Structure 1
């Protein structure tokens, strides 16, 4: 399986967990009906579909990504959902968006902008988003920020998180000022107004359906499946015992299973051009 195919599979597997939370976030945003929005780093378009539903029949969503395979699948999914006339997919780089100034009413980016951002890159990215958004429009970014999915094993989960492969980009050589949780400061420095933060919780509990079990198993693998040099052998053994299907102690088989994860959302309004901080 290619890297792109594996990533697509993980996105599809995770969608049953993430979709309800994203719907809650979009409901909180109250995107204007009939508005035109941009989904930056849209991937295979799963959130583009939800955004198109959120803005109604007269609204339009443009998804942009740098990977053609993702966009092709997004077009296919939009067709299956009878949303092809309301969603357009474009190949493009978020550092140089292929759109004119003042094109969109809002921009949304999930698990992309600022997650993670190499030193010095975030402010230009925000300003590039602001360039294509009309004055008074919104810039919205959100990302996965935490999870507790091993109920009864808080210390084990904390230890696994401290060394897991999925977190390494955020742990090695990362300045605290560039961590996603500092996004309010980024927004303010970019000159966005009415800056707000909000965290959304996704809960999952027994009895688990097949899709939920698949999504959680995929999550375990994404977070912890690769043993790290500084991880303990005991923690790795416990991970395999609790997180591998077929194990006698597979945690998803617990009749009282409950876990949760969080996404934090940051948003701000684009001011009139003359007030943007340069």
Structure 2
């Protein structure tokens, strides 16, 4: 099965954990979703696919932006995440919103049927990204566009680098992965990303750097906020099978490292993404 590890991850314990943390992630990533929408500027009434829609918070924003007469199809492989998405309901005066459990890399979308391929951090997890983007491109009309965001390198993202550094003082470091392997930072290299999109039949490719502030917590105190931060991102994978004692030591170290970033009871950490746009150079083929 293509993307077998991703199927297992997002439909197992990890998928359930992400679903449980969806409200936190939706709040955290809402500013980025809005920045992406402003950058892409979807046309009113357009028909759009939201790839890797997860819990669907950005799908709702997209549907509201497009408005009545359009449609948004949210696609994800995770049943736990889609359960959250489907519970959001249909927003008023918005594009028709539906959700599909499928692997966008291989799903047989209706050819030449969509105006926009959109994603907020949902396209970095394909085993074969060229095959995946080629498959998705075939769903696009002749004048269709691609618009998504993805993370720059971990070293440029304080919000994940500092917790991971704290964790690695207490847990074994994983084997050095292929930097282009499926994962949140698979598209950190913009030249690699551009080559994938070009080989997949996209043209007019633009990859723009965008800095963001990642804000965690709700004024509950440093340790509580750091504990919340440890539930998301790559550090969550590092700690998933660790004992409560190890997790507590990691939180202690991370709290010490992150204390200078606490403002009004919230952690404000730097983040860096790419805002990516392209045109379907070979639509429907």
Q: For the superposition of Structure 1 and Structure 2, which TM-score range results when normalised by the shorter chain?
A: 0.7 to 0.9
Report whether the alignment pairs 1:143 with 2:150.
yes
Structure 2 unaligned segments of length 5 or more: list them: 1-11, 241-247
Give the number of equivalent residue pairs. 253
Deviation at 1:34, TM superposition (A): 0.8
Partner residue of 2:99 out of 65, 70, 89: 89
Counterparts of 1:11-50 in structure 2, within 5 Å, are 11-50=22-61
**Could you tell me which residue of structure 2 aligns to residue 123 of structure 1?**
130
CA distance in 2, matches of 1:96, 1:107: 15
**Could you tell me which residue of structure 2 aligns to residue 109 of structure 1?**
119
CA distance 1:2–1:187, shift in 2 (3 Å): closer
CA distance in 2, matches of 1:185, 1:212: 45
**Greater CA drift, 140-149 or 19-28:** 140-149
CA contact (8 A) 1:17 1:202 kept: no
CA distance 1:211–1:43, shift in 2 (3 Å): farther
Q: Which has the larger radius of gyration?
A: 1
SS in 2 for 1:127: helix
CA contact (8 A) 2:63 2:94 kept: no
Report whether the alignment pairs 1:172 with 2:177.
yes
Report whether the alignment pairs 1:56 with 2:67.
yes
**Could you tell me which residue of structure 2 aligns to residue 232 of structure 1?**
none
TM-score (norm 2): 0.72
CA contact (8 A) 2:158 2:270 kept: yes
TM-score (norm 1): 0.73
CA contact (8 A) 2:201 2:282 kept: no
Deviation at 1:42, TM superposition (A): 1.2
**Could you tell me which residue of structure 1 aligns to residue 16 of structure 2?**
5
Deviation at 1:140, TM superposition (A): 2.5
CA distance 1:175–1:271, shift in 2 (3 Å): closer
Partner residue of 2:218 out of 209, 226, 246: 209
Deviation at 1:159, TM superposition (A): 4.0
Residues 242-267 of structure 1, C-alpha deviation per residue, up to 9 Å, x if partnerless?
535xx8x8566555964221221222
CA distance in 2, matches of 1:18, 1:49: 13
Partner residue of 1:134 out of 128, 141, 144: 141
SS in 2 for 1:33: coil
**Could you tell me which residue of structure 1 aligns to residue 196 of structure 2?**
186
CA contact (8 A) 2:82 2:99 kept: yes
Deviation at 1:78, TM superposition (A): 2.7
Q: Pairwise CA RMSD of aligned residues? A: 3.9
CA distance in 2, matches of 1:194, 1:243: 42
